[in-house]
Structure 1
Amino acid sequence: MGVIAFRNVANTVRRFIDRRLISDVILALALTALLSLTTSSNDLWGLQDGLLFPTSDRALTAWTWIYALPLAFRRKAPHASAVLFVTLCIIQLVFGPALVVTDCFALMQLYAVIAYGRRETARPFIIIAVGMAFLTTGVNTEVIAFGPLTMTGTERYQTAPYECLTPAGTMDLGSCDPALRTNAAIMLGMILIPVIAVIIMAYWQRARLATARWMQERNAALEARREEESHIAALAERARIARDMHDVVAHTLSIIIVQADGGRFAGANDRELAKSTMTTIRDESAKALADMQRLLGIFGGHHDDGTDAMKESPTHHDESEDDDHPSYANIDGLVAQARNADSDLRLERKVLGNPLPDKLGAPAQIVVYRIMQESLTNIRKYAGSDVHADIEEQWDEDGLRLRILDDGRGAASMADGHTQGYGLIGMRERLTSLGGSGTAGPRIGGGFEVTAFIPYASSPDMRDPVDSTAGGCGESPLTASVANGERSGTAGRISTRVASGFKQAVIDHIHTMVNTIRNDREDRHAGKAPETDDFNIIEKVSEWTERHYLLMDLLVAVALFMMYYVSAANGMTSGYAAVRNLSNMLTLLPLVWRRRFPQASAAVFAAVTILELLALPWNTLAPLVSVYSVYSVTLYGPRTAKRWVIPTIALGSLTFAVNFTAQNYLGMSMTTLIGSIPAIMGDTGTTKSIGALPVLLTCTFAACITLFGVMAAGMWSRARGANMLVLQAREEALRDEEAKQRILAANMERDRIGANIRADVSDTLLGVMGKADAGLRLLDSNDTDTQMISDAFAGIAKEGRAALKRMRQLLGVLRETGFSDDAQREGMRLAPASPLDEQLQWKAGGPTGGAVSDDTGRSQ
């Protein structure tokens, strides 16, 4: 127990004592020690006495050092230290000396309690500060006029000649009243003016600290969620693969099965029909295999090296390409394919209103295609025979309303005990990504109905391809979405409409400018701390200057130029004054961009400074403001900037030292000095040149020490992490790193899944293709009977169902370890923990758990 208690005490002390407290203690002791050297009863203009009692030098020393205690804790405990300081001041004014030198610490206490304390207590302390100013003025005026009140008049007069006392010890207010009023007014002004200035500076700093603290918290949150974002990216990639596997590959396998079943009966007696059906099955199998390879990113997209079958099928690439990026125009082919695949299906399509697919955008067109594809697949698989189906498209002012319904088996389709899939989950995810909605369920009286609403894009242009990954089967969504970071999903949309030549370049440029303006506005709105709503006028001005730092740097440069403006009235010609003003302007101009382009600004400033020191015959403004440039490039520039800043400081310091020595010791300009180098180095200038060497070395050393000290100050400010621009740059770096980590996590997850299931699914699909090739060879031979053709189609249907079963197992694994709000079932594993082979083995008996559909679970 004793060890635990000791550890608790040690942890408490460690939390309380930090670097800021140590620095404050050192500063308080140093300032108090420095001021105590001036503490003497002879240095306070007769204010060594107090309101009630006279004071000795020992008491003055004690009161001087006692204020070091609250000063040391002014930032660690601002309210407590301020209350302690006020209490000590009141005791001092009543019982101690009327004035001690460390009373000036009151300004530091007031600054700390406003800048670092709670907002609601700042105003009470301001009122207290003003009240203490009047109280201090009254006490000190009384002491100057009358002395301590506990002493008799004669004793007070003998101790010090107080203004309102006569030699007899009586008060003479008539003679001292004007002086008394004057002294009170002067003292009150001397106290209130610094108090007002400190209040303004404290609120100014409070606004900056609030913004910096909020940005620090946001950066810390970005760092903390990096691992979580990578995990979410991996889960989202699994969900994407599962969704696209269902919409592309499973759909193709369904067509293969329907074609094989139809060919088993219709093609047995028609050799040409059987051969055509077998060729279609073979091409669809090759297409499914190519889609799997592209879906997992194994071969980097569509390449002919996927399978040999792709090389042998000249029409396959176009079909696959259409299915990769389907649009509203491909729906006619999808409907025709459904009609041809099932002769018992009577399918009608109605279009109401004026179709405006361009207003939907490319991602929404993909969603429309996938919804119809899923609905028609389910109708062929579950509705039964002799089915009538209708597709209704209603084009309204706000979007497209779809309604796909049939008069098939409806809820009775579940009676065969088939395992439910994940098609409706993917459908709902796609609709949600576009801001749409949808329902699916059995109809009253029989049949099944799917409804969906797809809104138009938010602008006349197409929606961003970022969202297209939710509706299509393109690349991973992470590769496109990370560029937006935390921005709103509706901002920064980029047109996907294809134009050519100069027109497209102009459109892209305009979109870039508009998106930049929108993003800047969002950043300004998002970059406000929650505390900004309570800001007063001083804090609002401070925040405004932070956001418009370029304008503020311009105003500072103009102010410096006006301070050092040279007019012809100072005894110089107008031409000479104009040249000097021009040199000052060239010197100050790079400083306008010291925070926007720190390296470029510092480089131009250094070049201008060195050229002016070498060429101009007068002392320029450059050495004075060089500290401004060095500090800025160290604080706002990259860390690698010091590689060239340090040599530049050394070169500039040497140039300044030579210029200073030439003008002030040798009495010549730099150009004259350069021309006189041979004479100075010769015998005639030996004595003078030797005497100039110490001056040159001293100036060089002083300039280097000054600029390197400023550079160290900039590095210190950068390390503290309290500058808004530095924090903003850090945030951008964190977001870029987060985007890279998300892409890396998605790519690694895709590669892991691809490496595990590629051989499995490919072998299954190649088995279907092998059966189709064997069937084609059988049809080309002469000794083929009806039973052999029927058996060939039956074998293909069996292989197709095996492939579809395996695909369903894969979808179950991916969905139950993936990322879907609608699949959050009890007992679901939410993270891909075990290898995929083990998960497939666990799923060997079919997916477990309940339905994953909308109303009835009907989907594939």
Structure 2
Amino acid sequence: MTAAPASSVPRTPVHVRAVRFFEARPWLGSSFLALPLAVAAFSAWGLNRPSMGMLGGHVLWPLMLLLDLAAIVPVAISRIRPGWAVAVSGTACTLQILTLQGPGWSSLAVPLLVYAAAKYGSRRISLTALGWGLLGGLLAGGTILVGYLIRWYQHDPDETTLYGPDPLTELPILIVVMLLVAGFCAAVVVGAWTIGDLGGRRRREQAAVSEKNRLLEVERDQEARLAADAERMRIAREMHDVVSHSMSVMIAQSDGGRYVVHQNPHQAEEAFQAIGTTGRETLSELRRMLGVLREDSEELARRPAPNLDGLPQLLEDVRASGLDVCLEALPEDLPPLTEGAGLTVYRIIQEALTNTLKHGGERASATVGLSVAPGAESSAAQELRLEVRDTGQGAAALSDGAGSGIRGMTERARLYGGDVEARAHSDGFVLGARFPLHRVVSAEGTPR
């Protein structure tokens, strides 16, 4: 039985593709609106060639056709250049009315342009189109009176027709008609502007939401990259601390075993056993840290990290490597440290003793001290102070201290508001670290 083929990605519906096609080419959809108006204007004025306009004035059909087309064609670019479209079309419509060459088919383009300006233009363009459209409606109503006066002038004053000797008799009716025409035009313009403005607001809101989502995605990607970089730096520091310390212990043990292999085979055997033990522990620790890259943060959080509880075993391992190291009595008022702060203090002590193993010489010794003291800036704010002092070759250690070891310790300390100072003195080398106590103490150990 053959497996069913994987389902292909479904095709986008036709109507969705059509919408996307026209959205990518906004001028094309607007052209479909402008084309029928242009054909109607050409048919009405270019073929019939009337000598009288709608209001009874004499017209020049080429000029009328030109103004109609000048008002209609900009509809095609009203979505991409609403400002230019309103300027050209508004000027053409205004000239038609003022020169009594209209209104013509161009009047139908006005609501389309007002709608496009309100939806796709800026606020200034939108209000300009609205004001120009209302002014055009008022002028269109006013031409009713002008047309009546023209027709009255062209007829015989003795005739008792609508255009009789006294035009004032029809003036009230003309005013009512003028107001109706102006009101109708204004209502059409305001309606088109309102619909366009609502569409423009929705369009701007959608654009704002899309931009916000884009920025959130960028921020999320940046946070993910920063988190990945921080995790890589943390793993690099851990690997440096573990490998550097373990390799220093193994080198010291191998050198000691080589020197005593003939004089004291039993001691040499112990040294080689220590090398094997240290190597296995280091390999196990490296495997644990490299496993972090394949495990999630929840599994990693359940694993215990080294802290001050492991300090006696660390000192015992260092002593087994041949370095005489002692731990001053821990202060009784030392509160419990957070897991991260305990790991930081542990790693700083480990790195300092590793430097002593590498550079201190055969007769070097070291002392580790922890204390709680008033802060340097304010006596009210207490500090946790760490000091590792050795009697080795301080100058050599200081020259190496500019490497990744001291930098790693400094980076660890800064995470908790502390700093690290490494300096040589007459008898050897001193590494000190200070932490604000409130930054490293756990919640249950916070002083009250």
Q: Higher relative contact order at CA 8 Å, sep ≥6: structure 1 or structure 2?
A: 1
The answer to whether the aligner puts 1:406 opposite 2:411 as a matched pair is no
Which of the pair has more CA radius of gyration?
A: 2
**C-alpha separation in 1, matches of 2:441 and 2:184:** 67
Query: Of the candidates 164, 167, 177, which is equivalent to residue 167 of structure 1?
Result: 164
| Matching of residues 118-157 of structure 1 within 5 Å | 122-147=122-147, 151=150, 153-155=152-154
Query: Of the candidates 262, 271, 281, which is equivalent to residue 275 of structure 2?
Result: 281
**C-alpha separation in 1, matches of 2:290 and 2:168:** 101
The answer to whether the aligner puts 1:49 opposite 2:43 as a matched pair is no
Kept after mapping to 2: 8 A contact 1:325/1:366? yes
- CA change 1:300–1:72 in 2 (3 A) is closer
- Give 1:283 shift: 1.2
| 1:732-767 deviation per Cα after TM superposition (whole angstroms, max 9, x unaligned) | xxxxxxxxxxxxxxxxxxxxxxxxxxxxxxxxxxxx
**C-alpha separation in 1, matches of 2:308 and 2:73:** 77
The answer to whether the aligner puts 1:92 opposite 2:96 as a matched pair is yes
| Matching of residues 237-636 of structure 1 within 5 Å | 242-262=236-256, 272-292=266-286, 325-342=305-322, 344-348=324-328, 350-351=330-331, 353-357=333-337, 360-361=338-339, 363-384=340-361, 385-392=363-370, 394=372, 401-406=384-389, 408=391, 411-413=394-396, 421-431=403-413, 434=415, 436-442=417-423, 447-453=429-435, 456=439
Query: Of the candidates 200, 210, 213, which is equivalent to residue 212 of structure 1?
Result: 210
**C-alpha separation in 2, matches of 1:37 and 1:261:** 105
- Give 1:155 shift: 2.0
TM-score normalised to structure 2 length: 0.68
- Give 1:94 shift: 1.8
- CA change 1:34–1:440 in 2 (3 A) is farther
Gaps of 5+ in 1: 1-17, 302-321, 462-860
Helix, strand or coil for the counterpart of 1:140? helix
- Give 1:386 shift: 4.8
| 1:803-825 deviation per Cα after TM superposition (whole angstroms, max 9, x unaligned) | xxxxxxxxxxxxxxxxxxxxxxx
- Give 1:370 shift: 1.9
- CA change 1:189–1:111 in 2 (3 A) is closer
- Give 1:71 shift: 1.7
| 1:179-233 deviation per Cα after TM superposition (whole angstroms, max 9, x unaligned) | 54455444433432332332232222222234335656887x79xx99xx99x99
Aligned to 1:657: none
Give, as a single letter, the amino acid of the residue that structure 2 aligns with 1:371. Answer: I
Helix, strand or coil for the counterpart of 1:404? strand
Give, as a single letter, the amino acid of the residue that structure 2 aligns with 1:369. Answer: Y
| 1:70-127 deviation per Cα after TM superposition (whole angstroms, max 9, x unaligned) | 222223333333322332233233225453444343444344445444xxxx332233
Kept after mapping to 2: 8 A contact 1:294/1:300? no
**C-alpha separation in 1, matches of 2:195 and 2:249:** 81
**C-alpha separation in 2, matches of 1:438 and 1:458:** 16
- Give 1:442 shift: 0.7
**C-alpha separation in 2, matches of 1:278 and 1:290:** 18
**C-alpha separation in 2, matches of 1:24 and 1:214:** 29
Give, as a single letter, the amino acid of the residue that structure 1 aligns with 2:152. Answer: G
Kept after mapping to 2: 8 A contact 1:154/1:167? no
Gaps of 5+ in 2: 1-22, 296-301
Count of residue correspondences: 399
Give, as a single letter, the amino acid of the residue that structure 2 aligns with 1:75. Answer: R
Kept after mapping to 1: 8 A contact 2:93/2:106? no
- Give 1:435 shift: 5.8
Give, as a single letter, the amino acid of the residue that structure 1 aligns with 2:167. Answer: T
Kept after mapping to 2: 8 A contact 1:410/1:448? no
Helix, strand or coil for the counterpart of 2:167? coil
Helix, strand or coil for the counterpart of 1:67? helix
Percent sequence identity over matched residues?
22
**C-alpha separation in 2, matches of 1:106 and 1:130:** 10
Query: Of the candidates 32, 35, 39, which is equivalent to residue 37 of structure 2?
Result: 32
**C-alpha separation in 2, matches of 1:263 and 1:298:** 35
- Give 1:254 shift: 0.9
Kept after mapping to 2: 8 A contact 1:440/1:451? yes
Aligned to 1:103: 107
- CA change 1:82–1:211 in 2 (3 A) is farther
The answer to whether the aligner puts 1:194 opposite 2:199 as a matched pair is no
- CA change 1:214–1:78 in 2 (3 A) is farther
Give, as a single letter, the amino acid of the residue that structure 2 aligns with 1:427. Answer: M
| 1:591-636 deviation per Cα after TM superposition (whole angstroms, max 9, x unaligned) | xxxxxxxxxxxxxxxxxxxxxxxxxxxxxxxxxxxxxxxxxxxxxx
Give, as a single letter, the amino acid of the residue that structure 1 aligns with 2:407. Answer: I
TM-score normalised to structure 1 length: 0.39
Helix, strand or coil for the counterpart of 2:136? helix
Kept after mapping to 1: 8 A contact 2:367/2:390? yes
- CA change 1:366–1:202 in 2 (3 A) is same
The two structures, once aligned, show a CA RMSD in angstroms of 5.0
Helix, strand or coil for the counterpart of 1:350? coil
Kept after mapping to 2: 8 A contact 1:259/1:341? yes
Give, as a single letter, the amino acid of the residue that structure 1 aligns with 2:429. Answer: G
Give, as a single letter, the amino acid of the residue that structure 2 aligns with 1:405. Answer: V
| 1:314-354 deviation per Cα after TM superposition (whole angstroms, max 9, x unaligned) | xxxxxxxx998424432342234334544533332534745
- CA change 1:186–1:70 in 2 (3 A) is closer
| 1:120-163 deviation per Cα after TM superposition (whole angstroms, max 9, x unaligned) | xx3322332332233223212212233177x46322799xx99x
Give, as a single letter, the amino acid of the residue that structure 2 aligns with 1:426. Answer: G
